[in-house]
Amino acid sequence: MFTRRAALMGGAMIAASPYIAKNISVAQAATTPTATAEEIAALPRRKQKLIAPPFVHEHEQVATTGPTVVQFEMTIIEKEVQIADDVYLQAMTYNGSMPGPMMVVHEGDYVELTLYNPPENLLQHNIDFHAATGALGGGGLTLVNPGEKTVLRFKATRPGTFVYHCAPGGPMIPWHVVSGMSGALMVLPRDGLKDHEDKPVSYDRIFYIGENDFYIPKDEDGEYMRFEDPGEAYSDTLEVMNGLIPSHVTFNGKVGALTGDGALKAEQGEKVLFVHSQANRDSRPHLIGGHGDLVWELGKFNNAPDRDLETWFIRGGSAGAALYEFLQPGVYAYVNHNLIEAVNLGATAHVVVGGTWDNDLMEQVVAPTEYDVAHEGRTALP
């Protein structure tokens, strides 16, 4: 029987199959110095559990050991997710969150991911790591049907922040990405981050802001449509996607996910590293009332960071990092500074910072008050 599931899976197979290169040996694919299979097998191994964004699993900033095989596991979960009031998405996720969890390793480490596609899912999925070399970033080696798992190992040769995303072939690629299947991997230099003068810098907190653009179709009455499963959602969603105008742009998968109870928290004097990814579309992060002290806009740590930025640019398909020391207490808004997307479509987070106000940096000299219209204000005119 030719089911819808078979049709969706078959489409993906045809698109992806010319690139599948199952016989590539990982030892061959590694950059110099190339480790032998025996050398890789002899490396220390560490299991690292992932946690949901905006938080990031515990990690060393400066590596205290040599190269390690860091083992991660992710389960692909297809499920309906509410992304705004009365708005629902047939989501495809890594580990159930949008974005997927952020992974952190050091340059020279090996990422070893076990990827599960549970039998209750409808679709084929895989993972393309922008940090990896060869085989479509691993996408060509990780295509899993429902009920299958796969294990991919790759060497983290380039330090930086990188997107990973699902890319099962053809039109499945953008659809899976805008259904939620992306995340980020940070490869730290073994000796940690360096500033513009090549001096070591560290962070007190790290937040991972994953931005998603969603394309939710509306019915004839202008109401957002709700679907039974991803297959049912596909054709209407594709029509909205091809118009390139998202209905929602969110941080952490839902309008308001990182405001109110979900607001990020920090203290005055803390240096916070914000990692921002967008797997599909450009973004322009801006911290209202703050700055980017050091910004790796392209997210690649072999390049010196920019300083004192007001807004930085995240190209669709990339992840960048910005370090900021909070100098004043209060509520900061971290937004996509396309303000229509920030305010009307959802791309706003809040950072609540505790501490003591510094009147030297800013003071309200006169609170808003009525003035004498007959005698005041005229000198302000040219």
Active site residues: 125, 128, 130, 165-166, 176, 181, 286, 310-311, 337
- Residue 282: CB atoms within 10 A of its CB come to 15
Site string for Cu ion, 70-109 (x = CB under 5 A): ----------------------------------------
Q: What is the three-class DSSP state of 260?
A: helix
Both tokens of 261, joined, read 């109870």
CB 179 to Cu ion: min, Å: 7
- Residue 117: CB atoms within 10 A of its CB come to 23
Query: Long-range pairs for 144-149 at CB < 8 Å and ≥24 separation?
Result: 144/76, 144/115, 144/116, 144/117, 145/9, 145/117, 146/117, 146/118, 146/119, 146/120, 146/121, 146/122, 147/117, 147/118, 147/119, 148/117, 149/114, 149/115, 149/116, 149/117
Distance in angstroms (rounded) separating the CA atoms of residues 80 and 69: 34
| Site for Cu ion contains 181 (CB under 5 A) | yes
| Site for Cu ion contains 136 (CB under 5 A) | no
Applying CB under 5 A, which part among 62-70, 120-128, 239-247, 284-292 lies near Cu ion? 120-128
φ and ψ at residue 269, rounded to 5 degrees: 90, -10
| Site for Cu ion contains 345 (CB under 5 A) | no
Nearer to Cu ion, 11 or 262 (CB): 11
Applying CB under 5 A, which part among 62-70, 170-178, 215-223, 290-298 lies near Cu ion? 170-178
Both tokens of 129, joined, read 């790591």
| Site for Cu ion contains 176 (CB under 5 A) | yes
| Site for Cu ion contains 165 (CB under 5 A) | no
Q: Out of 56, 69, 89, 166, point to the residue binding Cu ion (CB under 5 A).
A: 166
Distance in angstroms (rounded) separating the CA atoms of residues 62 and 70: 15
Nearer to Cu ion, 166 or 185 (CB): 166
* Amino acid identity at 144: V
Q: Out of 106, 125, 165, 350, point to the residue binding Cu ion (CB under 5 A).
A: 125
Nearer to Cu ion, 99 or 189 (CB): 99
Nearer to Cu ion, 63 or 143 (CB): 143
Distance in angstroms (rounded) separating the CA atoms of residues 200 and 198: 7
How many residues bind to Cu ion according to rule CB under 5 A? 4
Binding site for Cu ion (CB under 5 A): 125, 166, 176, 181
